[in-house]
Structure 1
């Protein structure tokens, strides 16, 4: 199978490396020129449960000269989805499938607008990765599952073929007949902690020791469950306390959510695709979402203050 990882940061490199090692023609696509140049020159350095090794894999900063692929795996930040897929249309041929493994909800609609809904598959992955430097990652694959599926819930030969390819590469992959429900289950976990840590700047140890914050988290998740229920989504996580507990499971007290990490780096967040999704779906189905609306507004305010500060510094 010829595969391109669109958005080959730490997570994309971790998945791409496993697929490449299994014999699939795998390309990494990333805008970071230093990262790409290092991979092409010296290989991708990986640290994982097996130790440290170098994987030789092809990387590019643009889709030019890669050619048509069988599968595009989308792992860019959600707010870059439209720009990324438009820049990757040279990869898409008559039989190309596009699989999103991104956080949140809504990117599958953006991809469908670009390539057609019939080409789009959705999924969630619990594989982890940390970028140590250009061309170097710490990968967490062992014991981590990936769920993929058709948006209509069917178990198709094409999605099974992708799962088989991933499974054969050592990526534990399950085909779901309820991928939308699976996406919502993961969303509930992100809703529980992401925005709160971004607003308060607290790590998990601090967050989970503040009962007043737990109350807000449970209220946000309760809204999300009510919205999903109204939309007819089948959830595995049906109690707000369950999402709160799952969010911290197996993670150290020093853990920081991706939303907090984004703000610490001076970057905007994926709030529109996480709590913002709850608000949009709530409006669609007539379910009030005052807690999530407030969390979105607070993060947007922080992003605005950050952007203004960056502009002021640039003008000095």
Structure 2
């Protein structure tokens, strides 16, 4: 199976490098700057959990794609989605599967509108990685998984072929009949964690330790759950119980990637993770004052760094 990995940042670079090292037919679609960096030093993973890795991957840049791929793993940040869909168009054939692992759910409609519902495969990634100053991918925690499935929950021959390509490559590969529910649950986690840490101004434990911190956290989670319930995707009770337990630990160092990006002065996925949740709540007549405050905080931050 010919696999195209769109982006070689902390997510796409991690899973793509593991796949390439396991002998899969992997090509990376990169912007010129990242392509030049990788050509000079290779694609490097620094992982105390699963071992370091350095490869020299096959790379194409925009305009140099010469045919369709069997599957495309879309790993860009959500605010780069529109450009990414333009870039991958020459790689999309009649049977190409597009598996996005973006945050939120906006991308589902965008991909369907551009390439049709048939092209879309549901996807969820769980990995804690970041790019360091040298462009190396550093793994911050041991979990590493890709979950995927048909949007309607069916098991198809193409899905079994994708499962065979992704399995046995050094990370957890999970074919799931409830991938859409898992996409929504990941959004619940990201919106809750992002709202708590970005508005609270510190990791979960620091917020919990403040007077009123726990009530703030639980109130924000309740707003997120109210919206997702109204959208028809209620989180599983065990999943919600786990989140509430994790978010009640005063020793927790857990923080969202948006919070880390804010600390580093980087762009953030404010509209995709928080803004879209606020908008969907408004459509259902659900008040989300804490989510709205967190989104406003991030919009002010974005304006300060020149992000639209």
> Please, what TM-score do these two structures have when normalized by structure 2?
0.87
- Given that 1:19 and 1:26 are in contact with CA atoms closer than 8 Å, whether structure 2 keeps it comes out as yes
Q: Distance in 1 between matches of 2:64 and 2:211?
A: 52
Q: How does 1:139-154 map to 2 (within 5 A)?
A: 139=139, 143-154=143-154
Q: How does 1:217-256 map to 2 (within 5 A)?
A: 217-237=217-237, 242-246=242-246, 253=253, 255-256=254-255
The 1:211/1:136 distance shift into structure 2, 3 A limit, reads same
Stretches of structure 1 lacking an aligned partner (at least 5 in a row): 309-316
Stretches of structure 2 lacking an aligned partner (at least 5 in a row): none
- Given that 1:6 and 1:30 are in contact with CA atoms closer than 8 Å, whether structure 2 keeps it comes out as yes
> Please, what TM-score do these two structures have when normalized by structure 1?
0.85
Partner of 1:271: 270
SS for the counterpart of 2:52 is strand
- Given that 1:222 and 1:240 are in contact with CA atoms closer than 8 Å, whether structure 2 keeps it comes out as no
The 1:53/1:168 distance shift into structure 2, 3 A limit, reads closer
Partner of 1:170: 170
Partner of 1:92: 92
- Given that 2:281 and 2:288 are in contact with CA atoms closer than 8 Å, whether structure 1 keeps it comes out as yes
Partner of 2:26: 26
Q: Distance in 1 between matches of 2:43 and 2:120?
A: 29
- Given that 1:9 and 1:30 are in contact with CA atoms closer than 8 Å, whether structure 2 keeps it comes out as no
Compute the displacement of 1:205 (Å).
3.9
Bigger mean CA offset, 69-78 vs 51-60: 51-60
What's the CA shift string for 1:196-248, capped at 9, x where partnerless? 32234323442332252332222122122122222221422478663243469
The 1:184/1:237 distance shift into structure 2, 3 A limit, reads farther
User: How many pairs were matched up?
Assistant: 305
Compute the displacement of 1:152 (Å).
2.0
- Given that 2:69 and 2:93 are in contact with CA atoms closer than 8 Å, whether structure 1 keeps it comes out as yes
SS for the counterpart of 1:146 is strand
Compute the displacement of 1:272 (Å).
1.5
Q: Distance in 2 between matches of 1:248 and 1:170?
A: 32
Bigger mean CA offset, 281-290 vs 1-10: 281-290
- Given that 1:72 and 1:97 are in contact with CA atoms closer than 8 Å, whether structure 2 keeps it comes out as yes
CA RMSD in angstroms, aligned pairs only? 2.7
Partner of 2:115: 115
The reply to whether residue 207 of structure 1 matches residue 207 of structure 2 is: yes
SS for the counterpart of 1:59 is strand
